[in-house]
Structure 1
């Protein structure tokens, strides 16, 4: 992801619009992430994905078995203290 200040973004808008066609452009303000510019196609792709809702009936028995058999990696134990009692 390309990172630019808001001032730099304003000075070279056309350049960063072109860059956003191939990669997200992170725009910062006062050193903090403020906005991300993405291509219209990427935006449409994300919107389609956002609206996709699946119910349990959409999964095959193999899918359900795979989820049931999955286990978190050992590295996730670092977060065990966040679990209740």
Structure 2
């Protein structure tokens, strides 16, 4: 990822907008990354990968019953190593 200071970014914003179409541009202030400029396509792609987190109150009784009665498929054991005890 390209890193650029805020003053440089402000003075050449069009240049960095063009670069951000190909790769993220981290804008720094006092040497610390504060923001990252990415293409609109990359933003939409990334945004679409987020999942909504649901709390217990978001489930209906039917949902909870279905979860309790669900059986874990045998092929799911291949991912057991990803779960920390």
TM-score by length of 2: 0.67
Structure 1 segments unaligned to the other structure (5+ residues): 73-85
Runs of 4+ residues over 2 Å off in structure 1: none
Q: 1:52 offset after TM fit, Å? A: 6.7
User: What SS does the aligned partner of 1:23 have?
Assistant: coil
Say what the alpha-carbon RMSD is for the aligned residues. 2.5
Say yes or no: does 1:29 pair with 2:41.
no
Q: 1:51 offset after TM fit, Å? A: 3.1
Q: How does 1:51-62 map to 2 (within 5 A)?
A: 51=51, 61-62=74-75
Q: 1:65 offset after TM fit, Å? A: 1.1
Structure 2 segments unaligned to the other structure (5+ residues): 54-66
- The total of aligned residue pairs comes to 67
TM-score by length of 1: 0.67
Q: 1:61 offset after TM fit, Å? A: 3.4
